[in-house]
Structure 1
């Protein structure tokens, strides 16, 4: 039986942005799938046409969505998440729903402080209007360039924007921003779980949306667990590292780590 791998996208990217990854992982013998979030359309174009279906889904909604998908699998999967997908992967791993997880430039979990100014600027399109908590919000090409494509050429950033971006629910960002003031925050992760599977955190040195300092702070949140927790950094990469021309290097790092864990 092949090991299932679920790829979890983050805000503003469609699940099909993982297509190259799922092909690569299937070539390595994994049963790789990339489901969308609740309300996502089956394609980028359909998702753009129906932003109301995407809006107002929070962190708990996404976790429950993936829990239901995991329940249909023959065994616990490996989870690989980017940005908010990385947070979701960590929550599911902490709940013992996965055998391992890789969180790439993962959104900040409860306990991570402070949030750098660049991260606040990257998410300003959502926070500038409190009503966006219940809406789906789109980025402009310029906003995408700052939040995702700052470490690639302007031409590549524009191409990635045109190919993969969809509206994103604002609610997860509001929930993450208030996490440290809410004892029952959905952004809370069971970082002290001693029996969970291994976790790899991947940071990007030039990421504006989830700066390396956020990932390093996340890594420290796991200091009370003896379960395997590792951190690696791509110093010259930005938030687009899973979709830009350098994605194979990131994918190979993930595959190598999974082999080291015997998965």
Structure 2
């Protein structure tokens, strides 16, 4: 039986983060994970941003359990969850804050980060290897091939999908040694809903697609980060996403890490990417304190 998508309501952790950020005068930062990784995988980033003076929080998606084990035990809780449900979840988190946060997202989390920025709900955004959005026409063969286990099965639209260690090593953590890939897989991977992949795949066919982003909006700064060895969201896709903003008057920058794959936010090289994001935020006038 397929579960209905979980409704978006702030958790005690969300409200605690909001109260702490609101009282501190520190700039809030909200992290959004993508498919197959638990929100806890952001913890090193959360700690780094906290040490830099920001107030940081990594909420889960609707249906995520509090832990990796809990999420794996109840994959049905994520069945049918799509981009709009995830975006609404983070709108609710942001609504409890006194000031708009910086939003940092990876993969489909990067798509959500851009949506929130375009809606005026974020002060700045960092989109790392963001999922394909409406208006990006190129779909590299390797990207399509790696999505086929989901897209090739219509039942996945309302179901969930887990990556084996072999598939994870080939498509997600291909730029690190197999032993490291297996460690990341064992520690952080969770089932993922199939719906977001279908929504991205048909984004250019549906005017009302949830995979649309307001690229022309008057908004805060945006950094798009690509990975040169990424097989899940190849660099050609991230470049095309950044190019969608070429007519925008607001700051949009693109940075590519040539030797990294899709696991760049969670593997042993994560600090290089995180440090770059922190430096960029300072450069574009997004300090750690708002008051």
Same-fold call, TM > 0.5? yes
Q: What runs of 5+ residues in structure 1 fail to find an aligned partner?
A: none
Residue 158 of structure 2, aligned match among 116, 134, 148: 134
Query: Aligned ranges for residues 108-257 of structure 1 at < 5 Å?
Result: 108-193=132-217, 195-257=218-280
Q: Which residue number in structure 2 is paired with residue 21 of structure 1?
A: 45
Distance apart, 1:128 and its partner CA: 2.3
Distance apart, 1:220 and its partner CA: 1.1
| 1:63 partnered with 2:87 | yes
Which TM-score applies when normalising by structure 2? 0.89
Following the alignment from structure 2 to structure 1, what is the Cα–Cα distance between the partners of residues 159 and 72? 13
Distance apart, 1:113 and its partner CA: 1.6
CA contact (8 A) 1:198 1:227 kept: yes
C-alpha RMSD over aligned residues? 0.6
Distance apart, 1:73 and its partner CA: 1.0
Question: What SS does structure 2 have at the residue aligned with 1:123?
Answer: helix
CA contact (8 A) 1:110 1:189 kept: yes
The CA deviation string for residues 82-106 of structure 1, in whole angstroms up to 9 with x for no partner, is 0000000000000000000000000
Range with greater deviation from structure 2 (230-239 or 116-125): 116-125
Following the alignment from structure 1 to structure 2, what is the Cα–Cα distance between the partners of residues 145 and 73? 38
The CA deviation string for residues 110-165 of structure 1, in whole angstroms up to 9 with x for no partner, is 01121111111222221121000001110111111122111000110111100100
Question: What SS does structure 1 have at the residue aligned with 2:253?
Answer: strand
Range with greater deviation from structure 2 (245-254 or 138-147): 138-147
The CA deviation string for residues 55-106 of structure 1, in whole angstroms up to 9 with x for no partner, is 1011111111100110001210000000000000000000000000000000
Q: What runs of 5+ residues in structure 2 fail to find an aligned partner?
A: 1-24, 287-291
Q: Which residue number in structure 2 is paired with residue 90 of structure 1?
A: 114
Distance apart, 1:174 and its partner CA: 0.3
| 1:12 partnered with 2:36 | yes
- Structure 1 ranges of 4+ moved more than 2 A: none
Question: What SS does structure 1 have at the residue aligned with 2:92?
Answer: helix
Number of paired residues? 262
Range with greater deviation from structure 2 (224-233 or 112-121): 112-121
Following the alignment from structure 1 to structure 2, what is the Cα–Cα distance between the partners of residues 87 and 107? 6
CA contact (8 A) 1:125 1:139 kept: no
Question: What SS does structure 2 have at the residue aligned with 1:88?
Answer: helix
